[in-house]
Amino acid sequence: MKYLAMAGIDYENSALEVREKVSFTKSAIKRAFEKIKVEGILEEVIIISTCNRSEIYCISEEASEEEYLRNFYSSFFKIDKKEAEDNIVCRKGFDAIYHLFQVANGFKSMVLGEDQILGQVKDAYSEALLNKGSGKILNRLFLNAITDAKKVKTTTSLTNTSISVSAIGIKLIHECIKSFKGKKALVVGLGKMSKLSLQYLLSEGIEKIYVTNRTKTKILDAESIADNIEGIDFKDKHKVFKDVDIIISCTSAPHFVIHKGEFQKNCNEKKLCMLDLALPRDIEPEIGKIKGVTLYVIDDIKKIAQKNEQRRLVEYNKGMELVKEDVIKYIDWINHEGIELNGCNNITKDIFKEEVSI
């Protein structure tokens, strides 16, 4: 008998302050795989880490995998066992499979159906392969979930009606400053969400955008997008604090990249809107208490996202039918391969009959 389980912390069950404690950086993921291999309890492992969730999927030969995963989170991230117990959600067998398919499709995302999560699931799978963490069962599970998500995106129009996290962030900024005309912005970090933010800022007719990143080639790439984008060295970002009306930050740093002391020394008292899309957070929270500063964080996105969901539910329900079909196909593969997997082998499509759509 093989045992499939996942354990994780996400935005639905845990506050931002908790999630950032268990966020896997790239180096942390490598260390996690090394620790798991040394301990020798789990046979296969894949780790998903995004701004809204931290999840570990595993296969073991013992039915103690849930306890192991809870203890792993507590020891690896050095968090209190009670805090881990209160925030970690565990799923086993079929529930873990069904959950992953929904995650890959963005059906468990803060913004229903958002695109970025599929790339993050692909990255998680690639990272597991690189660290020799996954095996036959999880490889097929993740490949099937990724393939299903691609099919849902081409079969439904959910993607067309979805709004990205970055777009909602820009909407929050718009409510704060009213107009982008004549305004200047600083964008810190040049990952996917930051690049989307650049496009939205440009479409709003912003006057100038300063961009910065630790990798200089990314700055050069960003400068080529438009004439009013200017790159600055990461260490010099503070020099433009007093000139800008908007600061958007989304890096993968495990610590603050904009500190209160540095900020106060280099800003004036004009109105400033800040958007922190990172996890762990990039901007020291105390900055939001400074007069004239409005600071939005990733959890503020949730409030607007919930208002926009109703019109996407029809497409969501279409997508969920495809998800259910492909989940059963994965179960069929498990049976065809002769793999005994906890609570999965006797599953049929009838399991979905009692389910109620959101």
Nearest-10 crossing angle of helices 136-155, 93-104: 40
Task: Choose, from 51, 58, 250, 267, the residue flagged as catalytic.
Answer: 51
Check whether 116 is labelled as a binding-site residue. Answer: yes
Nearest-5° angle of CA 283, CA 22, CA 343? 145
* Cα distance between residue 349 and residue 236, in whole Å: 58
Check whether 191 is labelled as a binding-site residue. Answer: yes
Check whether 175 is labelled as a binding-site residue. Answer: no
Check whether 114 is labelled as a binding-site residue. Answer: yes
Check whether 281 is labelled as a binding-site residue. Answer: no
* Cα distance between residue 233 and residue 226, in whole Å: 18
* Cα distance between residue 145 and residue 141, in whole Å: 6
Check whether 1 is labelled as a binding-site residue. Answer: no
User: What is the residue type of 333?
Assistant: W
Under a CB-based contact definition with an 8 Å cutoff, are residues 177 and 197 in contact?
no
Check whether 295 is labelled as a binding-site residue. Answer: no
Check whether 156 is labelled as a binding-site residue. Answer: no
Q: Active site includes 273? A: no
Beta-sheet pairing, 272-276 with 246-249: parallel
Check whether 348 is labelled as a binding-site residue. Answer: no
Check whether 190 is labelled as a binding-site residue. Answer: yes
Check whether 115 is labelled as a binding-site residue. Answer: yes
Check whether 192 is labelled as a binding-site residue. Answer: yes
Beta-sheet pairing, 42-49 with 184-188: unpaired
Catalytic residues: 51
User: Annotated binding residues for substrate, as ranges?
Assistant: 50-53, 109, 114-116, 120
Which residues define the annotated binding site? 50-53, 109, 114-116, 120, 189-194
- Binding positions for NADP(+): 189-194
